[in-house]
Amino acid sequence: MRIACGVIAILVAASRLFAQDVSRDDRIKPEQLGLPKGTQRTSEPFVARVYKVDDVGNFLKKQPDGYPFTLRNDYVLKADEDFRTHQGVDFYFEASKSKPVPVDFNAGVNGVVVKAGDGQWGTITVQIYDGTLIQYLHTTASHVKVGDLVTPETKLGVTGRTGAGKIHLHIQAKDKNGNAISPDLAFRLGQSKLQSKEKPDPTLIDFDPDIYSPVKANVIERKVTAAIKPESKWIVEVIGEGGRVDEVIGEFFDYQSASRCAIAWGDSHPESLKLTREREVKLSVDKK
C-alpha cells in the first residue's frame, strides 16, 4: 500500500512539473514574442474582415485604401465586397510614425520547428507537445530550420509582409487535424515543455490563414454579423484526487477538438491514474 501511494505522489509531482502555470484568460503579449516596446495587437482572432472583390468574386490582390476593414457592427456587403474570418492575432510595430519595419521575434512557446519560413505566406510553424501547430505568418527570414527544438526565448524569425499588405506578424493555431483553434489558447498550451522531440511531419501543408474555422460569421442575405462568437466552449480538465481539477489543458470551440485533446493527453500520460473531463461552458454572446 505504501509503495502504491509513493508511486502516486511521484506521478502527481511529475504532472505538476509538466503542467506549469496555465492561466485561463491570458492573451499572447508582444513581450512574449520579444517584440519591441510599442508593438500593438491590431487584430483579434475570429473577426470578420471585408475585402473588395472583382467581377467574378475573387478577392483583389491589391486592396484599395481603407480595405480590408474589420467589422465592429453588423454590415450589409456591397456588390463588390466579400468577407473573410480572420483566424489569427496580428501584431504591428512602427519604428516611426506610419513606418513599419521588419523586426526579430521569439517563438514564445516550447516546441519543434516543422516549417521554416517558406511558402506563400512566409510561414514558420512550431509544433507543441500535444501536436497543436502554431504558425507565424508573413515572415521575411527564419532563424531556425525544420527539426530545431525551440523554447520561448528562441529567436524564430524576422517579421515581414510576405503574402500581406503591410509588415506585421500574424499568429494562428491549428489542432493536429488542421482545424483552427484560438492562438491565445495554443500559446498557453505551448508554455508546457516538450516531453520528447516529435518527428516533423513532412505532409504538413501551409494552412491558408483564411480557410476553415469552427467559428463562423452569421450571414443572412448579404448581412454579416459583427460578433462572431460561439455560443459555448469546451474546457478539458485533468481530474485528480477527490474529483479535484488538477489542471486545465485546453479550451475549444467544438467538442471534437476537445475530445481529441483529452485523448492526446491520455496517450502521452499512459502511466497516469488521472482522468480527463470535457466540460461545456455557455458563453454570453456579445451583442453590441
User: What residues line the site for Zn ion (CB under 5 A)?
Assistant: 88, 90, 170
Nearest CB to Zn ion, comparing residues 45 and 250: 45
Nearest CB to Zn ion, comparing residues 34 and 68: 68
CA 44 to chain centre: 11
Nearest CB to Zn ion, comparing residues 90 and 130: 90
| C-alpha distances out from residue 287 to 82, 124, 227, 229, 261, Å | 22, 36, 7, 10, 30
Nearest CB to Zn ion, comparing residues 170 and 233: 170
Strand, helix or coil for residue 277 = strand
**Shortest separation between residue 115's beta carbon and Zn ion, angstroms:** 17
Nearest CB to Zn ion, comparing residues 90 and 251: 90
Nearest CB to Zn ion, comparing residues 130 and 184: 184
**Shortest separation between residue 212's beta carbon and Zn ion, angstroms:** 16
**Shortest separation between residue 279's beta carbon and Zn ion, angstroms:** 31
Residue nearest to Zn ion (CB): 170
H or E element: which one contains 189? helix 183-189
Nearest CB to Zn ion, comparing residues 209 and 240: 209
Full DSSP string of 12-44: HHHHHHHH----SS----GGGGTPPTT-EEEE-
**Shortest separation between residue 220's beta carbon and Zn ion, angstroms:** 26
Q: Is 192 exposed, middle or buried (0-12, 13-18, 19+ CB in 10 A)?
A: buried
Nearest CB to Zn ion, comparing residues 70 and 268: 70
Query: What's 237's DSSP letter?
Result: E
**Shortest separation between residue 90's beta carbon and Zn ion, angstroms:** 4
**Shortest separation between residue 17's beta carbon and Zn ion, angstroms:** 34
Handedness of CA 258, 107, 23, 46 (dihedral sign): negative
What residue has cell string 500559446?
Answer: 187
**Shortest separation between residue 165's beta carbon and Zn ion, angstroms:** 10
**Shortest separation between residue 75's beta carbon and Zn ion, angstroms:** 19
Instruction: Extract the C-alpha cell encoding 241.
Output: 484526487
Is residue 245 within 8 A of residue 24, CB to CB? The reply is no
**How does strand 245-252 pair with strand 232-239?**
antiparallel
* Distance separating the N- and C-terminal Cα atoms of the chain: 59
Instruction: Extract the C-alpha cell encoding 39.
Output: 508593438
Interacting residues of 267 by C-beta distance below 8 A, sequence separation 6+: none
